Chain A
Amino acid sequence: MIYRYFLFVLLLIGVAVADGFEIIEFDNKQLENRYQVLLQELRCLVCQNQTLADSGAGLAKDMRVVVYDMINKGHTNDEIIQFMVDRYGNFVRYEPPFTLKTAVLWLMPFIVVLLMILFIPKFVRQQQAVSLNDAQREQAKKLLK
């Protein structure tokens, strides 16, 4: 019984320290929502598979501070993202934009699925059993006994 309580407390402590990030305060809820959304749209350059929201890297923290300042100074979301893209290129966008260069990246899954739909039936048909006439069927039965 005591053991279960102990485990529960341990779990709570774990959850409390899981977010060691800075505490941010905004004047209104709208600004805070914009901040959260932007953090999910920007990539951490150090931990490159994480968004700014998730990354604990020092550079990510610096970038979060920049986003915070820019929101409070009245910049739009587009201006803030462009500010980051000017310095780090399109890679800083967590979702790559759809441009000529990234068209292959975006469309390849659909192309592959399309090709599979077109070509798999052909391969399957080639592998289907050849039908036998009656005489051949009798012979097969004899051989299989």
Chain B
Amino acid sequence: MKYFIPLLIFLCLTVFLLIGLKLDPRLVPSPYINKPAPSFSLSRLDNQSIAVQRDDFLGKTWVLNVWASWCRACLDEHPLLLSLPKNINLVGLNYKDDKTDAKNWLLRWGNPYSLSLSDTDGKVGFDWGVYGVPETFVIDAAGVVRYKHIGPLQENDINEELLPLLKRLSTPQ
């Protein structure tokens, strides 16, 4: 009987440790979840004379993917981005990149984006709380950030989180 309390403590610790093993301590949750997306004004990668604002995207759910030609992990998730359903508005945020390198990267590996925005100095990324590339945001039709994924997307992220969320958001309330 006197061994009961240590055993209980041990079992509690084991449960916490097992849960902890599955968590990534480096993940920093976004303070923007369920808050309005930060505003921005950037020029398009393919046409520097066209400026794009945050509010241009109001009215339809869209996905912002932060990428760069120097980013190795972006290449890992790239095939998955190319295979996403075409009715998803996937917008690229070209983060701290050289425009020529970026355009060549898209030509070489394929362009999954409806358009890419040039965030050459990374200021917009900084406003969005980007700290590692790639990162992916889902913004709903009202301009509210609903989801952030840090690191390259994997198949189960897309199938179990991204696609169900997009479906939920596009269903009229």
Q: Which residues of A contact B (CB under 8 A)?
A: 45-46, 48, 58-59, 62-63, 66, 85-89, 91
Contact = CB atoms under 8 A, between A and B. Distances in A.
B57 interface: no
Given A46-B132, A48-B26, A87 B122 contact: no
Given A46-B132, A63-B126, A87-B38, 7 more contacts: A45-B131, A59-B131, A62-B126, A86-B31, A87-B31, A87-B127, A89-B129
Interface size range of chain B in the complex: 10 to 19
**A interface, over-half SS:** helix
8 contacts: A46-B131, A62-B126, A86-B31, A87-B31, A88-B31, A88-B129, A89-B28, A89-B31
The 4 closest A-B pairs by CB, nearest first: A45-B131, A89-B31, A87-B129, A91-B28
**B interface, over-half SS:** loop
A85 B26 contact: no
Contacts of A89: 28-31, 129
B147 interface: no
Interface of B: 26, 28-31, 38, 96, 122, 126-129, 131-132
A138 to B, nearest CB: 33
Nearest to A58: B96
A85 B28 CA distance: 12
Contacts of A87: 31, 38, 126-129
Contacts of A48: 26
Contacts of B129: 87-89
